[in-house]
């Protein structure tokens, strides 16, 4: 974990190390509480505690502290979570994905309460911090065989945490994905699972969100069927320690390679 990324930021008291651009202390405190509680929740499900830090950033601080080019697209890398502390043009673009007929529902859930009814997606993206916390758990310890599956895992952790720790926030979590996922596939350049595996976030902001919205809805459906134990089962389904890897190599490839894997 690169602790140098914290330099020049304000430290926030939270359950996990949390740092913010000056002026974003209040927002960082709220996001830090979400990230910290979800970290403890996922620790309870998976049984270990990876190193982690949270950065809540302004647009000016974003490029120097994250490699994700889109300001406002939450991300995690090597134990560092980066999230935006202000509304962003990217978030407004996602609101624009929603069909005109569904805009009133979007405004009911995410409207700022003013007479103009401006849509604010910060409450949704504050929850998405849990998705990024989940990524820290599989980085370096669990390699899912498909990119879509690692994203699904993170969305499943998010769904389980909201359902069990903040059930009142379920409409905030699911309304934008449900309405955004209704956008026709033909509206996007990249639409297939193979496109996602080949390009990942390089499909582009709104296109990437469209994939993520569908994954979030699928994660919600799995949670409704199987509960939080699905998080543990999914993680363990592809977790190979050295002994398990050697057994698989011996059974599927070659006993000599299995022995080499343990001695290397």
Q: Is the pLDDT of residue 32 over 70?
A: yes
Residue carrying the six token digits 């673009």: 93
Domains of the chain: 3-263 (1.10.390)
pLDDT at 55: 97
Give the model's confidence band at 116: pLDDT under 50 very low, under 70 low, under 90 confident, else very high: low
CB atoms within 10 A of CB 151: 23
Percent of the chain scoring above 90 in pLDDT: 92
Average pLDDT value for residue range 16-24? 96
> In Å, what is the CA distance from 156 to each residue of 24, 152, 213, 223?
28, 6, 12, 7
CA distance 203 to 209: 9
Average pLDDT value for residue range 87-96? 93
Q: Is the pLDDT of residue 152 over 60?
A: yes
Give the model's confidence band at 142: pLDDT under 50 very low, under 70 low, under 90 confident, else very high: confident
Q: Is the pLDDT of residue 159 over 80?
A: yes
Mean pLDDT, the chain, rounded, equals 94
pLDDT at 115: 53
Q: Note whether 58 and 24 are within 8 A (CB).
A: yes
Phi-psi bin for 254: left (phi > 0), alpha (psi -120 to 50), beta?
beta
Q: Mind listing the pLDDT tens digit for each residue in 34-52?
A: 999 999 999 999 999 999 9
The whole-model pTM stands at: 0.93
Average pLDDT value for residue range 142-167? 96
Q: Is the pLDDT of residue 113 over 80?
A: no
């Amino acid at each position: 974990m690169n602790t140098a990324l914290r330099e020049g930021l304000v430290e926030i008291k939270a359950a996990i190390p949390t740092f913010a651009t000056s002026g974003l202390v209040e927002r960082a405190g709220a996001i830090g509480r979400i990230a910290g509680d979800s970290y403890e929740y996922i620790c309870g499900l998976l049984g270990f505690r990876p190193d982690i830090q949270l950065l809540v950033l302004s647009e000016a601080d974003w490029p120097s502290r994250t490699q994700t080019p889109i300001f406002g697209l939450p991300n995690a890398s090597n134990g560092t979570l980066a999230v935006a502390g202000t509304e962003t043009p990217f978030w407004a673009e996602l609101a624009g994905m929603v069909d005109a007929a569904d805009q009133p529902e979007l405004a009911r859930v995410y409207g700022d309460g003013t007479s103009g009814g401006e849509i604010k997606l910060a409450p949704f993206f504050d929850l998405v911090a849990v998705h990024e916390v989940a990524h820290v758990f599989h980085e370096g310890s669990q390699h899912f065989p498909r990119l879509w599956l690692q994203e699904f895992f993170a969305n499943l952790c998010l769904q389980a945490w909201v359902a069990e720790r903040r059930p009142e926030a379920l409409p905030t979590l699911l309304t934008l994905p449900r309405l955004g996922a209704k956008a026709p596939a033909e509206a996007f350049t990249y639409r297939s699972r193979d496109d996602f595996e080949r390009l990942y976030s390089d499909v582009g902001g709104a296109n990437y969100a469209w994939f993520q919205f569908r994954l979030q809805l699928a994660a919600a459906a799995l949670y409704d069927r199987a509960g939080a134990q699905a998080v543990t089962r999914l993680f363990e389904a592809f977790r190979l320690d050295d002994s398990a890897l050697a057994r698989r190599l011996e059974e599927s490839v070659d006993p000599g390679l299995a022995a080499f894997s343990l001695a290397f």
